[in-house]
């Protein structure tokens, strides 16, 4: 059996409620993933080793989420040539520091930053990347987008009918 294609990492288990949403989306598409707590500040050695060994272990994309100073996504990106997708974790008692930290990467080290708590979109972005070389996955992804499209039409239709009643 082949290993996971997507690595989902987060700075703390307190990020799990947000980051689990990425895992759920990947699971729905039948994509293998691994879920790890790795802190840029508390376990910098493990972060470096994880990112540096990622291609060798067969990962194709990394989704990294953190709140506060949120160095995990950017520092992971700096240690791997894989695409890294950042999820700035935002709590009610936070300002927008994680978002700013993630989008202010210097030229030369790209980081695909999602909206605050945008773990679902992070997974969908990972799927788009994987689908570039997987026709079966691309078909599933197209069907997912088509369903979203059709759902909006159905909702609008129901609204128009209620409006007339
Ligand atoms: C960040 O600090 C983590 O990603 C988390 O969002 C935040 C708080 O971490 P804990 O103190 O809850 O472990 O590094």
pLDDT tens, N- to C-terminus, the chain (165 residues): 479 999 999 999 999 999 999 999 999 999 999 999 999 999 999 999 999 999 999 999 999 999 999 999 999 999 999 999 999 999 999 999 999 999 999 999 999 999 999 999 999 999 999 999 999 999 999 999 999 999 999 999 999 998 776
Length of the chain: 165
Cα separations in angstroms, 105 against 78, 80, 99, 100, 111: 10, 15, 11, 9, 7
Query: Which tokens go with 150?
Result: 């059709």
Spatial separation of the C-alpha atoms in residues 162 and 165, rounded to whole Å: 5
Count the neighbouring beta carbons within 10 Å of the beta carbon of residue 81: 9
Ligand 1 neighbours, Cβ below 6 Å, are: 10-12, 14-15, 39, 66-68, 89
Atom in ligand 1 nearest the alpha carbon of residue 71: 14
Name which residue sits closest to atom 6 of ligand 1, judged by CA: 67
pLDDT tens digits, residue range 23-52? 999 999 999 999 999 999 999 999 999 999
> Do the Cβ atoms of 50 and 38 come closer than 8 Å?
yes
Spatial separation of the C-alpha atoms in residues 88 and 70, rounded to whole Å: 7
pLDDT value of position 165? 63
pLDDT value of position 2? 75
SS3 25: helix
Q: What is the DSSP string of 117-153?
A: T-HHHHHHHHHHHHHTT-HHHHHHHHHHHHHHHHHHH
């Amino acid at each position: 059996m082949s290993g996971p294609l997507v690595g989902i990492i987060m700075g703390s288990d307190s990020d799990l409620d947000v980051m689990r949403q990425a895992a759920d989306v990947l699971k729905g598409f039948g994509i293998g993933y691994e879920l790890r707590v790795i802190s840029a500040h508390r376990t910098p050695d493990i972060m470096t080793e994880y990112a540096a060994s990622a291609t060798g272990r067969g990962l194709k994309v990394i989704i990294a989420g953190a709140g506060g100073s949120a160095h995990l996504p950017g520092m992971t990106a700096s240690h791997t040539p894989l695409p890294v997708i950042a999820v700035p974790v935002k709590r009610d008692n936070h300002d927008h520091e994680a978002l700013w930290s993630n989008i202010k990467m210097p030229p030369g080290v790209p980081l695909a930053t999602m909206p605050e708590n945008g773990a679902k979109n992070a997974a969908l972005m990972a799927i788009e990347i994987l689908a570039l070389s997987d026709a079966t996955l691309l078909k599933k992804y197209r069907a997912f987008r088509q369903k979203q499209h059709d759902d909006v039409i159905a909702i609008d239709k129901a609204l128009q009918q209620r409006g007339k009643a």
